[in-house]
């Protein structure tokens, strides 16, 4: 079976107005605007960018689409989840400030920003999967209450998954903090003793009493630790650290299963967009600008998260004249697509519909 993937050529140096019109045009074949009404909750999932990195999708490119959606419902908002690693995107207070600095404000975009997993990533909702690696996905709780999801992904390379596109934006980007931990590690967190203030907050939140106080710091007893990630979420100084223990292959498989939890497990109406512009070797979480690995290509849209990512990586590699993703990252990026297709997330076969030819 082939899924349709819509395409429009685009370049980041085009005006915001042109790119906003292109975003609307590539979304229109998939958007049943009449299915929206005043009671519909619509989440626009996006990466708000990292400090020092401007590779993220700016809200001005989505402005025209937002105006159309607002004719049907006012329950429209930007969203993302907090990061597993420490930094300004690891808690909602600083995350919202960073989003505002990058233009995601109520004044500029007409819609609010809501972080989907709470103040420090603890707010989760469990989705039963019973897939090979994940039995229960711990996703951001807000996503369990929405009706529509529009997922905007900036396609880049990635140090662990080969590339990041829609599957990563769904699987990793929609997971709660403990869900991200489950994808990245099968080993328990550890305490950096010199950083610990011995405030004992983590003891309060540990569900099994696996954390004990020592003279100047706390210690995690591996034999009692569930690996739930609560201590990671609440530590105010980032003294509790994650062991990044999973292989690139297993992370991709787990990520695809978490994407399934969103795409299939929540029974949402969803539209996915991949922006193939300003494409770098590393993801937008790197706090500095990177060189682009190919010329800008355009914008893709689809109902199928596997097909849109397959089309994206095909177009990037065609532009480069070689498998540039594998060459630069040394990662077998196909695993997330293969496993996604195996578990019913989507199809790797696709029909590319070039809207500029219509």
User: What is d(CA 307, CA 329) in angstroms, rounded to the nearest whole number?
Assistant: 21
Which pLDDT score, from 0 to 100, does residue 222 have? Answer: 84
**Are 136 and 253 found together in one domain?**
yes
Provide the pLDDT for residue 102: 96
Give how far Cα 19 sits from Cα of 11, 116, 181, 286, Å: 8, 27, 36, 25
pLDDT of residue 199: 95
Whole-angstrom CA distances from 355 to 20, 28, 109, 282, 315 are 15, 11, 27, 29, 15
Residue whose pair of structure tokens reads 């400030």 in the numeric block = 97
Same domain, 106 and 196: no
- Both 235 and 129 in one domain: the answer is no
Note the pLDDT of residue 59. 98
The domain that holds 318 is classified in CATH as: 3.40.50.11440
Same domain assignment for residues 197 and 148: no
Same domain, 29 and 139: yes
Examine the domain organization and report whether 282 and 143 are in the same domain.
yes
pLDDT per residue as tens digits for the range 64-112: 999 999 999 999 999 999 987 777 888 999 999 999 999 999 999 999 9
Q: Are residues 82 and 167 in the same domain?
A: yes
* Residue 223 belongs to domain with CATH number: 3.30.70.20
Note the pLDDT of residue 286: 63
pLDDT value at position 238?
Answer: 87
How does the average pLDDT of the chain come out, rounded? 93
Nearest of 287, 337, 346 to residue 165 by alpha carbon: 337
All residue ranges of the chain with pLDDT < 70 are 187, 227-228, 233, 244-246, 286-289, 358
**Beta-sheet strands, E only, within 61-165:** 76-80, 113-115, 124-128, 136-140, 148-154, 156-158, 162-164
CA pair distance 115, 205, nearest whole angstrom? 21
Residues 95 and 163 in one domain: yes
Q: For residue 110, what pLDDT is reported?
A: 98
What's residue 189's pLDDT? 83
What is the model's pLDDT at position 291?
86
Residues 154 and 225 placed together within one structural domain of the fold: no
Instruction: Examine the domain organization and report whether 104 and 131 are in the same domain.
Output: yes
Q: What is the distance between the alpha carbons of residues 56 and 266, in angstroms, rounded to a whole number?
A: 26
Q: Is the Cβ–Cβ distance between 254 and 132 less than 8 Å?
A: no
For 214-230, the pLDDT digits (tens) are 989 999 998 888 766 77
Full-model pTM: 0.87
Q: Are 192 and 172 found together in one domain?
A: no
* Domain with 292 in it: 3-182+247-357
244-to-185, 241, 247 alpha-carbon distances in Å: 5, 9, 9
The predicted pLDDT at position 118 comes to: 96
How many domains does the chain divide into?
2
For position 287, what pLDDT does the model report?
Answer: 54
Same domain? For 170 and 214 the reply is: no
């Amino acid at each position: 079976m082939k899924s349709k993937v819509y395409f429009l050529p685009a370049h980041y140096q085009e005006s915001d107005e042109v790119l906003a019109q292109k975003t609307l045009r590539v979304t229109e074949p998939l958007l049943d605007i009449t299915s929206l009404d005043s009671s519909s909750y619509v989440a626009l999932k996006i990466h708000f960018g990292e400090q020092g990195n401007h590779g993220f999708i700016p809200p001005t490119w989505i402005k025209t689409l937002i105006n159309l959606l607002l004719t049907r419902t006012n329950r429209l908002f930007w969203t993302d989840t907090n990061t597993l690693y420490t930094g300004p995107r690891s808690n909602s207070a600083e995350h919202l400030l960073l989003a505002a600095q990058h233009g995601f404000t109520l004044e500029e975009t007409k819609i609010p920003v809501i972080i989907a997993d709470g103040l420090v990533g603890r707010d989760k909702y469990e989705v039963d999967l019973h897939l090979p690696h994940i039995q229960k996905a711990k996703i951001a709780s807000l996503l369990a209450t929405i009706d529509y999801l529009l997922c905007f992904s900036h396609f880049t390379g990635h140090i662990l998954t080969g590339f990041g596109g829609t599957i990563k934006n769904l699987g990793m980007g929609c997971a709660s903090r403990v869900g991200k931990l489950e994808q990245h590690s099968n080993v328990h967190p550890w305490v950096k003793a010199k950083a610990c203030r011995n405030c004992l907050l983590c003891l309060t939140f540990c569900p099994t009493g696996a954390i004990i106080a020592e003279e100047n710091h706390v210690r995690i007893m591996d034999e009692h630790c569930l690996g739930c990630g609560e201590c990671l979420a609440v530590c105010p100084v980032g003294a509790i650290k994650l062991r990044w223990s999973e292989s690139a292959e297993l992370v991709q498989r787990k990520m695809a299963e978490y994407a399934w939890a969103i795409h299939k497990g929540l029974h949402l109406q969803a539209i996915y967009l991949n922006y193939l512009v300003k494409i770098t070797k590393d993801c937008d979480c790197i706090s500095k600008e990177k060189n682009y690995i190919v010329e800008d290509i355009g914008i893709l849209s689809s109902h199928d998260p596997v097909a849109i990512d397959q089309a994206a990586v095909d177009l990037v590699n065609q532009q480069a004249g070689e498998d540039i993703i594998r060459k630069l990252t040394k990662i077998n990026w196909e695993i997330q697509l293969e496993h996604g297709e195996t578990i019913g997330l989507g199809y790797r076969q696709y029909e590319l519909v070039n809207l500029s030819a219509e």
